[in-house]
Amino acid sequence: MTADAHGLGDMVGRSRPRMSRVLAWVVLGLLLFVTLFPFYWALRTAFSSNELLFAGEQQLLPVGPTTINVERVVGLEPIRQGGATFDYLNVLKNSVIMATLITVGQVTFSAFAAYAFARLKFRGREALFTLFLTGLMVPPIFTLIPNFVLVKNLGWLNTYAGLVAPYILMTPFAVFFLRQFFLGINREIEEAAIIDGAGHFRTFWRIVVPMTAAPLFTLGILTYITAWNEYLWPLVVAREESVRVLTVALGVFTTQQPGTSPDWAGLMAATMLAAAPIIVGFALTGRRVVDSIQFSGIK
């Protein structure tokens, strides 16, 4: 093979990785566009005039830019449709309380259970753990009616206790997730603490928890987002305004417009404000969450 042929082969070999990289960036750009454009369109609608939207005005930028929709949502001018109001600050408070209680409860109790399954030796431990994991195969809709009957009999309808009752204790995924980390901790560290007189609880709290801060933080973020987005259970047990959460309030808002044109601008403003706490939280902690997920091996 001549020198020219070698040179041409090298050029082709170098161009293939470059083309693959360009193609990868193009695909990534398309995926980002498809993912982020609905958020932009909701934001654009939130800052548009509702009257101009229904007049047929269509453009990429806000139509008749205005902040009145956001002002109505936050309570400076309550949103009124058919005599009803959208109390954003109240439902925001309820969502924060519900998500926080569920996150603290799940992470705490799941960590205790996972440590017990990973370190404590008792008869039937593996069989009990396997039985516990079968809960992952039970669709949540199957437990909706039994949980509702239990909460009703306890008198917890339209209360914070009823909102968080089915979620505040340990869940199969959370226990399995944390157990894998506890199994990876060097036993010699815990044995040294026990020799020094520390019990299981003190060993867990002073040694195991600091060593597993990353997975605990990751589990907390995932649990908080899941609780924040919960809709069906709060809709069933917390319909009164005093305990109504954001997801339910948005659903109620869309039904309180009989005989009139939907207030899409107001609804999009409320939707964006409902998502804002999660977006801000992820923006502040996103790097740590990604690092924790990479460290944990979640695929």
Least confident window among 34-38, 54-58, 82-86, 206-210: 82-86
Contacts of 209 (CB under 8 A, 6+ apart): 111, 216
* Distance of alpha carbon 39 from alpha carbon 279, whole angstroms: 11
Element of type H or E holding 80: strand 80-81
Predicted confidence at residue 107, as pLDDT, reads 93
Is-contact 247 230, C-beta < 8 A? Answer: yes
Predicted confidence at residue 186, as pLDDT, reads 81
**Residues forming beta bridges with residue 81, ordered by sequence position:** 84
* Distance of alpha carbon 218 from alpha carbon 54, whole angstroms: 43
Element of type H or E holding 85: strand 84-85
pLDDT exceeds 60 at position 56? yes
Contacts of 258 (CB under 8 A, 6+ apart): 82
pLDDT exceeds 50 at position 282? yes
Predicted confidence at residue 227, as pLDDT, reads 92
pLDDT exceeds 80 at position 173? yes
The answer, as to whether pTM is greater than 0.95, is no
Amino acid at 171: T
177-225 pLDDT tens trace = 888 888 888 888 877 887 877 777 888 888 888 888 888 888 888 899 8
pLDDT exceeds 90 at position 80? no
Collapsing DSSP to helix, strand or coil, 1 comes out as coil
Predicted confidence at residue 27, as pLDDT, reads 92
254-263 pLDDT tens trace = 776 655 566 7
